[in-house]
Structure 1
Amino acid sequence: MQAATSDKLAQWLLSSIALDAAAMHVGRYCGPWRASTAGKALSSFHLVLSGDCWLHIEGQPPLHLRARDGVFLMSDVPHFLSPSADPATPLQRPAMRPLGEAPEPDSAGLACGFFRFSGALSPLVIASFPEYLVCRSGDPALGHTAALFDMIVAEGGGDPERPSPLIARLVELLFFYLIRHASQREALSAGLLSLAQRGEFMALLDEMLRSPGEDWSIARMASAAHMSRAAFCKHFTGAGGVTPAQFLLRLRMRLAAQRLNAGDSVEQAASHVGYQSHAAFTRAFKRIVGEQPGAYRRQLRAAA
């Protein structure tokens, strides 16, 4: 029963993620090529549609990618793809050819682009995952993603620099299949989702999400987790990557952002997460979200 409830909470948190993907180019590289999406301060993806190649990430061993494999880089990390396992091999940045052209030696068909996370809780959930996620065509649990690759290939026969907008939507579906699979199988590092999958913290998180404005002292949190204060702080920080107080602040501000996005006034959002002082809420919100709540709300309304 506890495992089922924990999975339900984890699935709810995954559903709080919103993703906006954009395919930058879809086509074929040939010869001693090199491709990268690094340096844009965005998360990015590379899908191997045909052939094979190697992913080189700074400080990591080369990763071999085959047809129908893909990698989602959760943050902007130095990296590049090439046909060689040796990162020191001289390479070029050639123009991409149409995907439908006949393949040549060392060629690979790729779909590459960027994605942004939105949704108030996205940063807390995404922090649970590794630096990058790999989708393997040979993984039986991901066998159903082959149909998505087939559709991406079918849509990718035009101008490499002007791919069909449908490809981005298919990439989003692929990503959600992958993170659901990863959340069920991988040992998540730290973050909201990793905490939600720990039975000892499940009830606490459920209460905090439902009533973030309550007086969540360390003593109360430890009691909800049925631990001593010392044991609670040690195990919570180990699983969440931050102290309970830091986690509570981040959770409250992300939930406040969610309320602002739903149409609440700044005062209503502040009250919902336990703040009676407008000045204190404004300082906390800017510290976590990056801008003052009034400006954040105005930006949301302008975008709408």
Structure 2
Amino acid sequence: MSSPRNDRLIHWLLGSLELESTLFHLGQYCGSWKTSTSGLARAGFHVVLHGECWLHLPQEGVSHPLQSGDAVIFLRDVVHYLSPLADPLAAAQAPRRSMAPVDTSLPGSVALACGFFSFRSQLNRVFLGSFPDYVVISRSGEKLSETRPLFDLILTEAQAGGEEPSPLISRLVDLLFFYAIRHLCQRREVSDGLWALLARPEFAPLLEAIIADPGRDWTVQTMAELAHMSRATFFKRFAQACGASPSHLLLQIRMRVASQLIEEGLSLSRTAEKVGYQSDAAFSRAFKKSTGVLPGAYRRAQQQRQLQAA
């Protein structure tokens, strides 16, 4: 996973997620309490800035101890709650309290940064694949040790004070998310989708070639030859690794590239040609099939978003 080829593919895939992190609340608790971001059908996160608490997952019957510098990232909505109480039943009955400003000098306090992840792209089920529901990042553990400076920066920003939380916290959490995704892929803890293919060396060159030249006439035979397999073997192994047919994944990559080209201001006709469509009508049908909207509507939405951000 550390080859230059895979690094390029990782960066492209991470960029395709169009991640946006939102800080829901930042502060600290004292005494008996519980908190959660579940129940809103959104991915989320908790970063322990100070103190110790427990992550309880009642539907799994699992509890994880958390301490300063630990984090939990939920890739989908999972029933959970955090509490200083180790006993799950006692923790479930603990009250929900309002957060106080971060003050790490108070004994027994637990400071948290909690929020949500959202993805602007419509292609994320294919791009994310079947990742685990959540990942716990331990500051004292060996895995994801490269993220430790991020926790220090998040705490520094949290302690900076002010009426509004620092916007840098959300950006730092973005980085934390990307490291976690890459870690899961490297450990092959994703069962299908583009990331699963990336973990298979026989398919990485093919992915790079398709991304670099999506407008090429990519038949299954062409793909099989590039992967140095017979057509039948290629189709079987590809479907087993990816969970989708080669033509379906080709469509998703083409439409992701098309989305990026539209955002860059390329005309719809030229975009269609770049991703392998000679007919604007055929391109529009394919784009809507993948994203749920027509390319013209997508372009107008992007232009409106840019105006609002200006």
TM-score (norm. length: structure 1): 0.86
Distance in 2 between the 1:55 and 1:4 partners?
36
**1:83-94 alignment, distance < 5 Å:** 83-89=84-90, 90-94=93-97
Contact in 1 for aligned 2:123/2:291 (Cα 8 Å): no
Q: Aligned partners of 1:160, 1:86: CA distance in 2, in Å?
A: 35
Distance, in Å, in 1 between the alignment partners of 2:229 and 2:252 is 22
Deviations 1:222-280 (A, max 9, x none): 22222233322222122212222221221121111111111112222222222233333
In 1, Cα distance between the equivalents of 2:245 and 2:85? 43
State the shift of 1:70 in Å: 0.5
Q: Could you tell me which residue of structure 2 aligns to residue 100 of structure 1?
A: 103
1:7 aligns with 2:6: yes
Worse-matched range after superposition: 237-246 or 153-162: 153-162
2:15 matches 1:25: no
Per the alignment, in what secondary structure is the counterpart of residue 37 of structure 1? coil
Q: CA deviation at 1:42?
A: 3.0
1:3 deviates by 6.8
* Structure 1 unaligned residues grouped into runs of 5+: none
Q: 1:253–1:285: 8 Å Cα contact kept in structure 2?
A: yes
The RMSD of aligned alpha carbons is: 2.8
Which residues of structure 2 form unaligned runs of 5+? none
1:160 and 1:79 map into 2 onto residues whose CA distance is: 30
Q: Which residue of 1 aligns with 2:71?
A: 70
For 1:217, give the aligned amino acid: T
Q: Judge conservation of contact 1:23–1:114 (CA < 8 Å) in 2.
A: yes
1:28 and 1:110 in contact (8 A); partners too: yes
- The alpha-carbon distance between structure 1 residues 247 and 48, as it changes in their structure 2 partners (threshold 3 A), is same
**Pair 1:284–1:161, CA change in 2 (3 A):** farther
Aligned mate of 1:243, from 240, 245, 259: 245
Q: Which residue of 1 is the match for residue 291 of structure 2?
A: 289
Q: 1:166 to 1:212 in 2, by over 3 A?
A: closer
Measured in 2, the distance between the counterparts of 1:136 and 1:10 equals: 27
1:295 CA drift (Å): 0.3
Alignment CA distance shift 1:161-1:249 (3 Å): farther
Cα pair distance change 1:139/1:205, threshold 3 Å:
same
Residue 130 (structure 1) aligns with: 132
- Tell which has more relative contact order, 1 or 2 (C-alpha 8 A, sep 6+): 1
Structure 1 residues 266 and 86: CA distance shift in structure 2, 3 A: farther
2:53–2:85 CA contact under 8 A, matched in 1: yes
